Homo-oligomer: A and B are copies of this chain.
Amino acid sequence: MPNPTAAMLVIGDEILSGRTRDSNMHHLAGALTRHGIDLQEVRVVPDRQDAIVGAIRALSPAYDHVFTSGGIGPTHDDITADSIAAAFGVPIDVREDARALLQAHYARTGQHLNAARLRMARIPQGATLIENPVSTAPGFSLENVHVMAGVPAVFEAMLASLLPLLTGGAPLLSRTHRVDLPEGDIAMPLATLAKQYPELSIGSYPFIENGRYGTYIVLRGTEGAALDAALSGLIKLTEGTAK
């Protein structure tokens, strides 16, 4: 059975303006690969309801899971929860269990649960909460869309709460081989290998080190034995080329 598929939607003007360098995409990509879920697309959109709704309506039917990051804080530009509700055409309001979580948290920290913070308890109807062990305000899952915070420490904590609940497939395994040759010298042996092992994905990543070209070759697949066989083949092929 093929692995479940996924897309990610990163929401935030600050990524698109270059002010902030996103790190959640790289974190999610690694975590999903280890869990056996194939991340097949990422989109980054601004804090605009039409952009979020459009992306959710395109991605939700196309993949098994959609993970979002950003836009669920207390300020006026935090419009993700309302946009997700709009995308699915369901009502949204302050939910009592979410309000209770926030109330207890702010009582503990001596802060005031004002109207702005209460917005973080707005949850679309039919959603399930995602636990936030860092700063309490929860994320949520609605249908196959999992809505999480943009602050990396919170995103990572929410993902750690969520991921064990999702069924994964076979984790993607990899073997890496370094060749001290430019990519152009090993392209033809690599194409041969790719034809020989159609079930593996074979990527080549050139680098420059001390002024000399080299290439990392990465074999990916779910079966260790096929990977090991392909790796042996690769070593033989590239030794031949190096001479």
Contact = CB atoms under 8 A, between A and B. Distances in A.
Contacts of A119: 187
Q: How many copies altogether?
A: 2
Interface stretch (A72-80, A88-96, A159-167): A72-80
Nearest to A150: B205
A16 B207 CA distance: 19
A25 B44 contact: yes
Given A76-B190, A184-B117, A42 B39 contact: no
Contacts of A220: 13, 17
Given A17-B29, A19-B174, A220-B17, A151 B77 contact: no
A103 interface: no
Contacts of A223: none
Interface in A8-37: 10, 13-23, 25-33
A114 interface: yes
Contacts of A218: 14, 19
Interface stretch (A123-131, A139-147, A196-204, A232-240): A196-204
A226 interface: no
Given A33-B17, A41-B45, A218-B19, A190 B75 contact: yes
Contacts of A44: 25, 41-43
The majority secondary structure among interface residues of chain A is mixed
Interface in A74-114: 74-77, 111-112, 114
B51 A202 contact: no
B16 A75 contact: no
A206 interface: yes
Interface in A167-220: 172, 174, 182-188, 190-191, 194, 201-206, 208, 218, 220
Interface of A: 10, 13-23, 25-33, 38-47, 51, 73-77, 111-112, 114-117, 119-120, 151, 153, 172, 174, 182-188, 190-191, 194, 201-206, 208, 218, 220
Given A73-B183, A73-B184, A76-B202, 13 more contacts: A16-B39, A16-B40, A17-B172, A17-B174, A18-B27, A42-B44, A73-B206, A74-B184, A74-B187, A75-B190, A76-B191, A114-B188, A116-B188
8 tightest Cβ-Cβ pairs between the two chains A and B:
A116-B187, A18-B30, A18-B29, A42-B44, A117-B184, A76-B191, A74-B184, A21-B26
